[in-house]
Amino acid sequence: MSMAISITMVRDHRPSPSSDMYLLPALIRMLRSSLGLSLLLLLGTTVVLPAHAQSLPEPGTEVSASGNDAATAPGIVMLVRRPQHIRAALQTVQDLRASDTLSTTPVEIVVCGKAVRTIQAGTPLATTIAQSPTEGVRVLACGMSLSNLNVDPNTLASEVTVVPNGLAHALKRQAEGYLSVDL
């Protein structure tokens, strides 16, 4: 009997995966990688920052990621992959229409990935798209996503246009000077 108790005692005192004995090596690895990453970022910032410091815009100047002035950009392209982001993009378009600077700027909302399923005719999101202002706004579906997910392009809401590859379309627009937003 005492032998069974002894075995039980050993078994009960074995370190669990969440104990400090197992966490310490993981913590040391994390600190080493964080320290190395921190040093790399610090060195990269030190080396890169002076080269770009001369080209920084004046404070208060509105600048896009592509370097275009927001007021002179030929348009805005929003790449979205989640249904809630489609709603956010449509709301952003409404907010832009109320602004002075970007009220007439063309906007393209490019829907990729699983979100293409949510813009099929008859869905709540398709209804939202249909009720949204359409002047200067295009909702585009990625043909590659449609194909990969076996979604028939003919089932999409009538306001949606299919492009062969949504990501390629967004990159092309960005190269043309469009402001680019990934949601």
**Domains in the chain: boundaries:** 18-52, 76-182
113 pLDDT exceeds 50? Answer: yes
More confident residue, 23 or 136: 136
Helix %, strand %, coil % of the chain (to 5): 50, 15, 35
CATH number of 76-182: 3.40.1260.10
Cα 130 to chain centroid, rounded? 24
Is pLDDT above 80 for 121? yes
Q: What's residue 41's pLDDT? A: 39
* Span 95-113, average pLDDT: 90
Q: What is the mean pLDDT of the chain?
A: 74
Exposure string of 79-110, with b = 16+ CB inside 10 Å and e = fewer, is bbbebebbbebbebbeebbeeeebeebbbbbb
Q: Give the span between the Cα atoms of 108 and 139, in whole angstroms.
A: 6
Name the more confident of 101 and 118: 118
Confidence of residue 37 (pLDDT cuts 50, 70, 90): very low
